[in-house]
């Protein structure tokens, strides 16, 4: 957040713009006299999760396709991170609709990637064949959703939502937190979780200042 001072805007105007009823308004008069709590959605409301979720999707795809006893593709990139799909690839895929759930997005991406005619089975060859823009151009009905991509490309038995969820959670939570939350040992990710990279969007002091205005009845 910027540290330089700005001229504060009148509270009344700010409230009206944000949808919070100004003091003395008809809407404010209808405010409840008592409430037990005010609930905020966490993702991208209080905590910026955009980068962590995006990175978790990309890592999940990499691990699913390049690791294991018989990997789909050999990582010939010379780097530990295969980087099979780019951030833009994920963004374009989500625009097909119905993939707001990150596990579903990973599942659909893996169905698409494993459907590509790639020979030899190297990551470099796979990356050359990825063309989500052309794939999207052939999709008439939106949102596509998981059912739509399964209907179009089939449901490979080797791609399972259970394995996707396991990999994704290990990456997102990290070694220590995954053990604590899931009560299981890590199989795919031995590093710190991407959740630790997330930053709060609001300062705690800002929420404290908003408290008497948002919850005057407390």
* In a domain? residue 210: no
* In a domain? residue 23: no
Residue 112 parent element (H or E): helix 102-115
- The rounded percent of the chain whose pLDDT value lies above 70 is 78
Q: How confident is the model at residue 18 (pLDDT cuts 50, 70, 90)?
A: very low
Is the pLDDT assigned to residue 175 strictly greater than 90? yes
pLDDT at 35: 60
pLDDT at 2: 43
* In a domain? residue 158: yes
Task: List Cβ<8 Å contacts ≥24 apart for 156-162.
Answer: 156/111, 156/114, 156/115, 158/72, 158/114, 159/64, 159/107, 159/110, 159/111, 159/114, 161/103, 161/107
* In a domain? residue 35: no
* In a domain? residue 22: no
Per the structure, the complete domain to which residue 58 belongs is given by 47-197
* In a domain? residue 55: yes
Average pLDDT, the chain: 84
Is the pLDDT assigned to residue 15 strictly greater than 70? no
For residues 31 and 148, give the distance between their C-alpha atoms in angstroms, rounded to a whole number. 44
pLDDT at 1: 42
* In a domain? residue 3: no
What's the average model confidence in pLDDT over 44-56? 89
Is the pLDDT assigned to residue 130 strictly greater than 90? yes
* In a domain? residue 173: yes
Is the pLDDT assigned to residue 171 strictly greater than 60? yes
Number of domains in the chain: 1
Nearest to 46 by CA among 212, 204, 170, 195: 204
């Amino acid at each position: 957040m910027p540290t330089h001072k700005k001229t504060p805007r009148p509270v009344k105007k700010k409230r009206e713009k944000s949808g919070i009823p100004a003091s003395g308004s008809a809407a404010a008069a209808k405010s409840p006299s008592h409430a037990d709590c005010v609930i905020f959605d966490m993702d991208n409301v209080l905590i910026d999760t955009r980068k962590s979720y995006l990175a978790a999707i990309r890592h999940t795809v990499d691990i699913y396709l390049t690791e294991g006893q018989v990997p789909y593709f050999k990582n010939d990139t010379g780097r530990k991170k295969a980087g099979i799909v780019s951030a833009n690839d994920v963004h374009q895929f989500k625009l097909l609709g119905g993939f707001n759930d990150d596990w579903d997005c990973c599942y659909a991406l893996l169905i698409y990637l494993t459907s590509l005619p790639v020979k030899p089975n190297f990551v470099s060859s796979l990356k050359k064949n990825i063309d989500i823009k052309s794939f999207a151009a052939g999709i008439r009905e939106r949102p596509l959703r998981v059912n739509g991509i399964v209907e179009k490309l089939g449901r490979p038995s080797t791609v399972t939502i259970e394995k996707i969820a396991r990999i994704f959670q290990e990456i997102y939570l990290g070694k220590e937190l995954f053990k604590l939350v899931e009560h299981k040992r890590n199989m795919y990710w031995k590093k710190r979780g991407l959740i630790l990279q997330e930053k709060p969007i609001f300062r705690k002091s800002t929420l404290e200042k908003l408290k008497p205005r948002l919850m005057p009845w407390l």
